[in-house]
Copies of this chain bind each other. A is one copy, B any other.
Amino acid sequence: MTASLQTPRTTVKRLPTRGAYDRATVEAIVDEALICHVGFVVEGQPVVIPTIHWRSGDELYFHGSTASRMLRSLKNGIDVCVTITLLDGLVMARSAFHHSMNYRSVVVMGTAREVTDPAERLAALDALVEHVCAGRSKDVRPPNERELVQTLVLALPITEASAKIRTGGPVDDEEDYELSHWAGVIPLRLTALPGEPDERLGEGIETPAYAREYRRPMNS
């Protein structure tokens, strides 16, 4: 039995039946998404920055330059709210009012820690490359010392979180079902086109399968 990630501040208030608090649900959304939006407070004002994230075990990671204002703020242990959203479809009801979207989102709250151990940081950066593209970490030049010094890695424990999910078709008012407007769902997908080789790619280097037919989630 997985422990719940629900706390008062991660409890879904609007449409609470759409909320979920089990780790498997939260992790599946985190693992599929390529970016998150990180919210924090700077001198009383909210700031929301998009960035790439990944997961390793029970923690959500993000990284960037040691020159990043966001990361320097967060490594000092300030509160953070990380939100991840996957769009799955447009829900078209017969009434404008009941239009909706199908989506899967996650909110994680807490404070991040800086990953300082060199081996842990290297493993985390490998996990980032694998999160984006399984198999790729063995097909790149790994980070060198100079690059590692420039890279700040932060880990946020996924202990206080919620998922919110809407699926299925439109739900109209009963009397609206006789209207002649089209109703249904337009599914949305983040899809990849075939990888485009760099113009300076060496002769004879073939485009690997992971770039020819990239897809998310990686394991589907």
With a cutoff of 8 Å between Cβ atoms, the chain B residues found around residue A115 in the complex are: none
Indicate how many identical chains form the complex. 2
Give chain A interface residues in 104-139, CB to chain B under 8 Å: 105, 107, 109, 125-126, 129, 132-133, 136-137, 139
Q: State how many angstroms separate the Cβ of A83 from the closest Cβ of chain B.
A: 4
For this complex, into which size category does the number of interface residues on chain A fall? 35 or more
Binary B-proximity of A60-102 (CB < 8 A = 1, otherwise 0): 0000110111100000000111110101001011111101010
Q: Which of B50, B79, B196 contacts A105 (CB 8 A)?
A: B50
With a cutoff of 8 Å between Cβ atoms, the chain B residues found around residue A147 in the complex are: 95, 97
A37 and chain B: residue at smallest CB distance: B37
B49 and A92 contact, CB distance less than 8 A: no
A9 and chain B: residue at smallest CB distance: B45
With a cutoff of 8 Å between Cβ atoms, the chain B residues found around residue A50 in the complex are: 37, 83, 85, 103, 105
